[in-house]
């Protein structure tokens, strides 16, 4: 399935930003499915799930400011500003309502988006998005280091890992080596050695984006995001071996949660590690499925 990348220039907060996105599927469907990546991500992180998800609905996957091919016109970023960029893009595309699927820090971003733009929001899906320990670690709180040291360590490793840009030959070397994949991708993937070289390269090639540190500071300032008043259904979809959004954070999440799905044998990147199970989970919560279940891992890794 060919996914043409589009660019749209928007005016937000007095600045012009060029936003990169993919728009696929049925353009006349009621509520579009909006796929929003996490720190160090880009729209390509959704490559495996866009084709099946777009068979019956409109799917939009976006590069956030400073990631992928989207520019970064501001020296500082806040999550409300990023939410407003997305809202402006949706207005330009004449999208009236979205099911906002936010991965990782896209979970807090989804909650802030729903609070700021309720008329645009049909439903929220926080995919590995219960990242309280992640946010607290970035804001230099001691609590995560005392209660969830592995998550705090994974958070620091993630920021360092996504901030460093590897030369193409080095990136390809890491992607081909099981040992180097383990060293580079352990914070994100449950079993890095089982990733295909292609999937590993997809993750590694997106590092070093100019938006990493401005977004990291924006996340650190986003305290209290889980207390936002949300008036639409909220689903939580997590991997059972996620170090960055651990099950302990899922259990202690204080925000609204109408559906909870845990995908087994999965780390922080279910849409890449277990795309079939992730797609099934999304379809289930969009259709208003069960309130809690364990989703089996599918045989989707090489």
Task: Tell me the domains of the chain and their CATH numbers.
Answer: 5-146+212-295 (3.40.50.1820)
| DSSP string across 124-170 | EEEET---HHHHHHHTT-SHHHHH-HHHHHHHHHHHHHHHPPPPHHH
In the predicted model, residues of the chain with pLDDT beneath 50 are 290, 298-302
pTM, full prediction: 0.94
Nearest of 114, 161, 105, 99 to residue 133 by alpha carbon: 105
Q: Say what the pLDDT of residue 301 is.
A: 34
CB atoms within 10 A of CB 287: 7
- Report the C-alpha gap between 34 and 48 in whole angstroms: 15
Which residues partner with 299 through β-bridges?
A: none
Joined together, the tokens standing for residue 101 give 């699927």
Q: Say what the pLDDT of residue 30 is.
A: 77
Q: Say what the pLDDT of residue 279 is.
A: 97
CB within 8 Å of 216: residues ≥ 6 apart: 39, 138, 159
Nearest of 235, 240, 246 to residue 273 by alpha carbon: 240
Q: Say what the pLDDT of residue 302 is.
A: 29
């Amino acid at each position: 399935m060919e996914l043409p990348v589009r660019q749209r220039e928007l005016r937000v907060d007095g600045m012009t930003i060029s936003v990169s996105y993919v728009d696929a599927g049925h353009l006349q469907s009621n509520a579009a499915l909006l796929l929003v990546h996490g720190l160090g991500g880009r729209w390509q992180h959704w490559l495996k799930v866009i084709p099946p998800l777009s068979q019956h609905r409109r799917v939009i996957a976006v590069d956030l400011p400073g990631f992928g091919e989207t520019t970064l016109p501001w020296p500082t970023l806040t999550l409300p500003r990023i939410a407003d960029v997305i809202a402006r893009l949706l207005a330009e595309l004449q999208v009236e309502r979205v099911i906002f699927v936010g991965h990782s820090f896209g979970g807090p971003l989804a909650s802030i988006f729903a609070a700021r733009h309720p008329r645009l929001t049909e439903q929220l899906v926080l995919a590995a998005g219960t990242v309280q320990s992640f946010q607290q670690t970035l804001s230099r709180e001691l609590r995560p280091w005392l209660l969830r040291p592995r998550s705090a360590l994974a958070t620091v490793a993630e920021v360092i890992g996504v901030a460093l840009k590897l030369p193409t030959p080095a990136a390809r070397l890491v992607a081909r080596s099981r040992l180097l994949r383990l060293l580079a991708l352990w914070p994100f993937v449950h079993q890095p050695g089982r990733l295909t070289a292609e999937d590993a390269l997809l993750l590694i090639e997106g590092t070093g984006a100019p938006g990493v540190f401005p977004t990291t500071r924006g996340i650190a300032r986003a305290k209290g995001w889980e207390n936002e008043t949300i008036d639409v259904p909220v689903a939580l979809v997590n991997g059972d071996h996620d170090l960055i959004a651990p099950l302990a954070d899922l259990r202690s999440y204080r925000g609204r949660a109408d559906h909870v799905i845990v995908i087994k044998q999965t780390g922080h990147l279910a849409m890449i590690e277990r795309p079939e199970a992730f797609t099934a989970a999304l379809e289930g919560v969009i259709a208003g499925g069960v309130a809690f279940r364990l989703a089996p891992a599918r045989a989707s890794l090489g």
